[in-house]
Every structure is written in structure tokens, then in C-alpha cells.
Structure 1
Amino acid sequence: MIEMQDVWKTYPNGSEALRGISIKIDRNEFVYVVGPSGAGKSTFMKLMYREERPTKGQIFVNGFNLEKLKQRKIPYVRRNIGVIFQDFRLLPKLTVAENIAFAMEVIEAPTKMIRKRTAEVLELVRLKDKGNNYPSELSGGEQQRVAIARAIVNNPAVIVADEPTGNLDPETSWGIMRLLEEINFRGTTIVMATHNKDIVNTMRKRVIAIEAGQVARDEARGEYGYED
């Protein structure tokens, strides 16, 4: 599903974000990516959806070699990867339903399919009565649910979630985690970067810890392992 082979990333200013990363994530896994701030977690996540490219090494996602990918194939690969951000990144002038539908419009899905699928994911994220609202009319937790709906509307094989509970209170965070667990149960691979020790230690999943650009730990049913 996702494989990195001896991946290095050096930025133009000379800073090394990642050094010799080799990992494999199987289909249907739920993986936490943890580590100190500045350890390379964000770069690690961005490489999976080709927001960044490695300086050295190879990355395979859902059967595609991202380094050998032709430019015209990038949109096809990205439609199979849903991305969830800490700051939601919703379009403020579009309604909830329009924000979700937009992800299907960019891949030129048929209008009838867009309406049907948008309604389905709104129900899944428990926002079926909020489709005509605008993001500014929603709570932070509701906005994150919209972001999740947008990420899954194209039935991606993988979801990359970068601190999806970072701006949420504890109760709302647990609601988001239960939703992500349900999506994972339905067959979607989830890779989630987080600083939330309670979530990692309670919902015991695989933990990949990155320190100074390298994999320091890779444990099934692991713990967070850092002090706040």
C-alpha cells in the first residue's frame, strides 16, 4: 500500500528533514506518526501525497512509484489519497455540501453521482442537516467533520491526516477519532500524525516515531512515548 525505500529529504537551505527512511504500511492499517516538533513528521506525511519529493530514495503508494510518475498521472494518484489538515482548509464561500462536492467536481465526476455521494458522506459524518450551512456557521469539530467528508468522498484507498485533532477540545477530538476508526474499519488505510498522547495511548495502533529525521521506533500497538 505505502512503502518508502531509503528516503532522504534535504531542503534547498541544506537542512535534512529525513534521513534514510524505510517503512511499509499495509492496506487497512491505522498508523500514528509521532515525534518531537521539527523531527520531520510533516515532511514524511507530505511525501505520501507528493506535496514534497524526496532528494533520494523511492516511494510507492497504492502501486504507483511516485518518483517515476508522469505529471498527467498525479491527479489520478491524488484522488486515491484523502488529506485531512489541522486547520480544516474549507472554502469559506461554499456551503458544506459544495465544499464536499468540489472534491468530486475537480475529477469531473457526473453530477448525479456527486449529489448521491455527497449525501452519503454527509450522513456518515453525521452532518446531513448541515449541507446548506457555511463553514463559519459550524463549530470546529463540525468543520473537521466536513474536512473528513471531503477527504473520503472519492473513496480513497489512503487517508493522510496531519494533526486532525490539533485545534479541537478533548471531547470533540474523541468524536473525530471514533469517526476515523469507523472509516478505517470500512477498509481505508489511515496514517495520522499527532501530538495527542491520550489518543495514542488509549487507541492502541501501530506507532511510527520519527526523531531527527529517522525512524526511532516502529511498534504494533505502540505508545506515544514522549512527555508534553
Structure 2
Amino acid sequence: MSIIRFDDVWKVYTNNVKAINGMSVQFEKGEFVYIVGPSGAGKSTFIRLMYREEKATKGEIIVNNVKLSGMKEKEIPALRRKIGVIFQDFKLLPSLTVYENVAFALEVIEENPSKIKQRVMEVLDLVKIKSKAKFLPSELSGGEQQRVAIARAVVNRPDVLIADEPTGNLDPDTAWSIMDILENVNGLGTTVIMATHNKEIVNTLKRRVIAIEGGRIVRDEARGNYGYEV
């Protein structure tokens, strides 16, 4: 059964730029999928539609059996608790420690304080940064900050983890360590959808590859390769 489904989805901006052109695709629970394509192809718009950062102009997006087209603004936070998102630039809160950044995601949903502590330490251990729980983001390397961002994204035990260029600002060794973590998260049952320009990662860790050009899916292969020059 699909966990995310696009049915003839269009996204047209006010200047008549068609970012997504009649896209239909589905993702199954537990999949690991790469989203690839040239810059400006529509990858980021495609991803933002999944967690209602953008709203489709036409067509239907269904996430966990919920139709996003009819979703009210007040219902969006509940959707996003089921979808973890990580970005190329981390988006950590600079004045909060590692522990506090991750705990914040649970505090906003008023989770029990004792459960917060237990869960935060579990995910910090998962991403191998437990020893730096009291550090501020400015005291961490880029790779360490990305580990914290992943911990924050999965602390709610989301059904889906969306990663938008998660290794884009990292050196090759650090990028591979982040991929190890994403593979571990996927191994625990979370669907992982990752937009990337990293040809080496895609071609080495063979997973489903969806290629987007001009807002359309031009290739969808179960164990594909990157297929573009970088």
C-alpha cells in the first residue's frame, strides 16, 4: 500500500511557471528513493508538496490516506509530525543545545517530559552524537550538525523522512557517514525520500531512482543510477 501518492499533480506559480506538470507517482512504505535531476527541474517543489509547504494547483496528493487538497491550515502541523524533513543547511536553532534542538520537536506537541528525555537520548545515540548533547550548533562540524538535524527529524518516529540535498554541503567522508545513518533509519521501517546531486552515492547505494526534468518524471527505476553529469 502506498504511503504517498501523487495523482495528476500540477504546480503552477503566479507568473505561469509550471514547476510540476501532471505528475503521477507513488511511494510504498519502507522504500528508500532518490530524487534526481538537473537544477531547476522541480525536485524541491516536488518535495515541498509532500509536506504541504507548497499546495498543488491541480490534482491530488495523498499522504497516509489523507488528501492534502482539502486540508485546513490548522491540520498541517499534525501531518508534519508524521513526516520528518532535513535540509542541506540544517536549520538548527543556534541558541539551543543539541539536546534542546531535538527535544523541541517533542515539546511543541506537549509530550511527557520523561518520555522526551528517553526518546531524545535514543535518537542522539542512533545518529552517534550523544556525547555532544550539551554543545551548541556553532561548536559542531557540518557533519555533526546534520546528524542533529536528522535526530530532530526522526524523534517523532515519522512514517516518512524527506531529505533535501542532505549531503550537499559536506565533504565525501562525512557524506557517507550521513548515508549510513539514513540507511539505518530506513532499516527501522521509515520511508526515506532523498533529493540529491551526489552521483557517487546514487550509483553505489543502488535504490529506486526517480528522475525529474521540466517538472515531469522522465525515469523511474527500481535500482537505477544517477544518469546526469555533475
State the TM-score bracket (shorter-chain normalisation).
over 0.9
Structure 2 match to 1:164: 166
* 1:111 and 2:126 are equivalent in the alignment: no
Aligned partner of 1:128 among 113, 127, 130: 130
Amino acid in structure 1 at the alignment position of 2:178: I
Secondary structure of the structure 2 residue equivalent to 1:224: coil
* 1:97 and 2:99 are equivalent in the alignment: yes
* 1:226 and 2:223 are equivalent in the alignment: no
Secondary structure of the structure 2 residue equivalent to 1:178: helix
Partners of 2:168 and 2:10 in 1: CA distance = 27
Deviates most, 45-54 or 102-111 = 102-111
Amino acid in structure 2 at the alignment position of 1:75: P
Partners of 1:66 and 1:167 in 2: CA distance = 32
Secondary structure of the structure 2 residue equivalent to 1:136: helix
Aligned partner of 1:183 among 175, 185, 191: 185
CA RMSD in angstroms comes to 0.6
Amino acid in structure 1 at the alignment position of 2:117: R
Aligned partner of 1:61 among 59, 63, 72: 63
Aligned partner of 2:219 among 217, 220, 228: 217
Partners of 2:39 and 2:130 in 1: CA distance = 37
TM-score (norm 1): 0.99
Aligned partner of 1:77 among 76, 79, 82: 79
Secondary structure of the structure 1 residue equivalent to 2:131: coil
Aligned partner of 2:27 among 25, 30, 35: 25
Partners of 1:213 and 1:107 in 2: CA distance = 35
Structure 2 match to 1:44: 46
- Large movers: runs of 4+ above 3 Å: none
Structure 1 match to 2:141: 139
Amino acid in structure 1 at the alignment position of 2:89: D
Amino acid in structure 1 at the alignment position of 2:223: R
Partners of 1:103 and 1:79 in 2: CA distance = 9
TM-score (norm 2): 0.98
Amino acid in structure 1 at the alignment position of 2:150: I
Deviations 1:105-154 (A, max 9, x none): 11111111111101111111111110000000000000000000000000
Task: Kindly state the Cα deviation for residue 72 of structure 1 after the two structures are TM-superposed.
Answer: 2.7
Structure 2 residues without counterparts, runs of 5 or longer: none
Partners of 2:73 and 2:58 in 1: CA distance = 19
Secondary structure of the structure 1 residue equivalent to 2:130: coil
Amino acid in structure 1 at the alignment position of 2:138: S
Deviations 1:189-227 (A, max 9, x none): 000000000000000000000001100000000000001
Amino acid in structure 1 at the alignment position of 2:184: E
Amino acid in structure 1 at the alignment position of 2:5: E
Task: Kindly state the Cα deviation for residue 76 of structure 1 after the two structures are TM-superposed.
Answer: 1.1
Partners of 2:53 and 2:108 in 1: CA distance = 18
Structure 2 match to 1:203: 205
Secondary structure of the structure 1 residue equivalent to 2:132: coil
Deviations 1:28-67 (A, max 9, x none): 0000000000000000000000000011000011121111
Percent of residue pairs identical: 63
Task: Kindly state the Cα deviation for residue 75 of structure 1 after the two structures are TM-superposed.
Answer: 1.2
Secondary structure of the structure 2 residue equivalent to 1:129: helix
